[in-house]
Amino acid sequence: MNEIKEYNQSIFESIKHIDENGNEYWYARELQNILKYSQWRRFKELIDRAKIACELSKNDVFYHFAVYGKTIKMPKNAIKTVEDYKLSRYACYLIVQNGNPNKEVIALGQTYFAIQTRKQEMTEEYFKSLNEDERRLVVRGQTIDKNKLLYKAAKDSGVENYGKFTNCGYKGLYGGETAKDIAKRKGISDKEEILDYMGSEELADNLFRIVQTESKLKKDKIDNEYDANNTHYEVGSAVRETIKKLGGTMPEDLPTPEKSIPELETEKLTKIEN
């Protein structure tokens, strides 16, 4: 384990730069290579999500993600300028947090930058200060992160049919509705991500389902698909029952927002870039 930590620190420290004022920074293109993303387009998607998280945490996006044009050599002695960023340590932390934790180097990066960066925790007071669209972006980001862990736990538990596994959770939480049923009720295609068409309260209901299912799969050491599916259904049903006991609104009765999460993200990015 110590060897892993040393290797982890070595690869990220090896591409660290120090400017004339003693400030440390990383180039996005170099970090892309370390994190094993072969396409800049894919890595830029992580950067864009990280910039949104930076904005929501009330930090200066332009400071943490400074645009930098990098010159590279092309065939026949040609020169081309490509997009790059000078990233702060906090920016790197946000980027790896949005990466795929199933990739070992991403998991190492998450550990490294989490340890080295003071985590900015969102207090309840701060969350309440956000408007509904901002809350949706925050909770949707959390569901993305936790769903990655849930499906890893599901895979470790023997799940092969992930569509069926997903529907078991939804059926428990939504009183028998499948993902297709929910999409139809919301008036969207069943190929669209229904979590992108939920308000912050409905997203929070699903986040609770996701987190508790992942925990139970691991705690109960589920080792077959049948029990994994039942576990997801039971947790979904338990969350539904809790909502009922608290006098809350059933998730299927909550309104569908006018704008999807991708639309909100596009608006945020446009605002940041302008």
Q: pLDDT of 155-199, one tens digit each?
A: 999 999 999 999 999 999 999 999 999 999 999 998 899 999 999
Q: Is the pLDDT of residue 141 over 80?
A: yes
Mean pLDDT of 82-97: 91
pLDDT band at 121 (very low <50, low <70, confident <90, very high): very low
**pLDDT tens-place string over residues 34-76:** 998 999 999 999 999 999 988 988 889 999 999 887 766 666 6
List phi, psi (to 5°) of 137: -60, -40
Q: What pLDDT does 122 receive?
A: 45
Q: Which residue has the higher pLDDT, 1 or 60?
A: 60
Instruction: Compute the half-sphere exposure of residue 68: CA atoms within 13 Å on the CB side of its CA.
Output: 18
CB atoms within 10 A of CB 31: 22
Asked whether residue 216 carries a pLDDT value surpassing 90, the answer given is: yes
pLDDT at residue 74, as a whole number: 62
Q: Is the pLDDT of residue 25 over 50?
A: yes
From CA 268, how far away is CA 274, in angstroms rounded? Answer: 10
